[in-house]
Amino acid sequence: MLSKRSRMVLLAGLVVLGLVPAPGALGASITRHRIDDGFSGSSIAQNVWVATNPDPANATIVEGGGVLSMSVGAGAAPNDFVVVNTRCSAQGDFDERIGFSLPVWPLLDNASLAMDAMPGYGMGRGSGLEGDSYWSFLNPQFAEVPTSDLSGRVRIVRRGATLTSYFYAGGRWVMLGYNPSVPTGDAQMNLHLSLGSDFGGQPVQIAFKYFHVYADAIIC
């Protein structure tokens, strides 16, 4: 399993652009209260996301076939990552969700798919020497539960200063993490694939099926 430190949020400073869908970014939209991306375009929606890939020789971020795919090869280094950050932020209360699948997901490889709500507050699906799990890090609260799911949904909700994380199982949302005292400022979100310091060296591919956030306001 990735260490708690390996699950810290990977954010970058961003520049705000317009609100209309970019060419090739079908299914991506931003309104006053929502950000939605069904990843049905032929390229990453530049109006929604900023992509960061520090190791393009060994990692990729590609949209196509109805998913946003992130992958790393056997040559990737421990602690490598690829990430897309939202250009806009959620203000006030929000409900953030993703659907995902794991097309190439070796056991014991020490990799993690993550959705972050803001720096230091995220959740996802990880693999490691202790097994696979859904995990949640709502600084400083950490929680995890074993799973063998190769597809699923996760969710983070902020109400006032309370942040709660969920995974979907058995036809319902199951609470995983809870922190009643978190920052209430504007939340800039991201999706990423990250490797642990003890990465097993086997190729990994993850696929995001959709991203959705509903907030009191979307600020761009």
Structural domains for the chain? 5-219 (2.60.120.200)
The answer for residues whose C-beta is within 8 angstroms of residue 71's C-beta and 6 or more apart is 59, 60, 104, 193, 203, 204, 205, 206
Tell me the HSE value of 167 on the side-chain side, using a 13 A CA sphere: 25
Q: Is the pLDDT of residue 15 over 90?
A: no
For residue 27, the model assigns a pLDDT of: 65
For range 8-15, the mean pLDDT: 29
Q: Is the pLDDT of residue 147 over 90?
A: yes
Q: Is the pLDDT of residue 55 over 60?
A: yes
Q: Is the pLDDT of residue 16 over 70?
A: no
Asked if 102 and 142 count as a contact pair (C-beta separation under 8 A), the reply is: no
Tell me the HSE value of 75 on the side-chain side, using a 13 A CA sphere: 6
The total of other beta-carbon atoms located within 10 Å of residue 184's CB is 14
Single-letter residue type at 62: V
Q: What percent of the chain has pLDDT over 90?
A: 86
User: What is the average pLDDT value for the chain, to the nearest integer?
Assistant: 89
pTM above 0.85, yes or no: yes
Which of 128, 176, 138, 169 is CA-nearest to residue 152? 169
Q: Measured between alpha carbons, how far is 204 from 128 in angstroms, rounded to an integer?
A: 13
For range 92-107, the mean pLDDT: 98
For range 42-61, the mean pLDDT: 96
